[in-house]
Amino acid sequence: MTDIDSPADSEPDTPIAEVTPTRVAEILQAEDLEHRLDSAAVGANETPVTVVRTGFVNSAVSYTIADDQLVMEALWRGFFDADRAVRLLAWINNWNQMQFAPTMRFFEQGDGLLVASAIDMVPVAAGLSRNQLAVFVLSCLDNVSRAFRELGEDFPDLVTWTEDDHDHS
């Protein structure tokens, strides 16, 4: 019998440790994925929030730590006119009923435009091992990629970019 938790080419897991933006970035680095760390300003006497950003041709993805959760949020690159809100809502409701993750949602971006968004999170108060963290970070990217690919297939007229575009914001 094969031990599927320990493939021959994998490294041993690490002990449970605090989840930090740097550790998230290390996972992306190990996968040769472009990324950057941005520090966002907050109120006086508060610690700045560091956001890990990555993405693909059709999406911008960020990871932040808030309220003892590692939160992944992604925005789809396409924009919906407000008159498509009902169709978009139906698509999102169907996705959320049929898929475990990510949770899809939408909101107004301004000028009567709507944007589709994905979110997923994992509790990190007790920390995560490297493998636990990697599974979350990478499965989020895979799940977002799948969701946004399907979104583009169902709303092809909103796909105004090509695979040659390299805006990884």
Q: Is the pLDDT of residue 70 over 50?
A: yes
Lowest mean pLDDT among 1-5, 38-42, 118-122: 1-5
CA distance 67 to 125: 9
| pLDDT score for 7 | 43
Q: Is the pLDDT of residue 108 over 50?
A: yes
Provide CB contacts within 8 A for 64, sequence distance 6+.
21, 49, 50, 51, 52, 70, 71, 73
Who wins on pLDDT, 44 or 2? 44
| Sign for the pseudo-dihedral over CA of 63, 39, 55, 115 | positive
Q: Is the pLDDT of residue 109 over 70?
A: yes
What would the pLDDT profile of 11-40 be if each residue is shown by its tens digit? 789 999 999 999 999 999 999 999 999 997
Q: Is the pLDDT of residue 2 over 50?
A: no
* Residue 84, burial from CB neighbour count under 10 angstroms (0-12, 13-18, 19+): middle
Instruction: Please tell me whether the peptide bond between 102 and the residue prior to it is cis, using omega within 30 degrees of 0.
Output: yes
| pLDDT score for 10 | 63
Indicate the average pLDDT of the chain: 90
Query: Structural domain boundaries of the chain?
Result: 21-77+116-158
pLDDT interval class at 133 (50, 70, 90)? very high
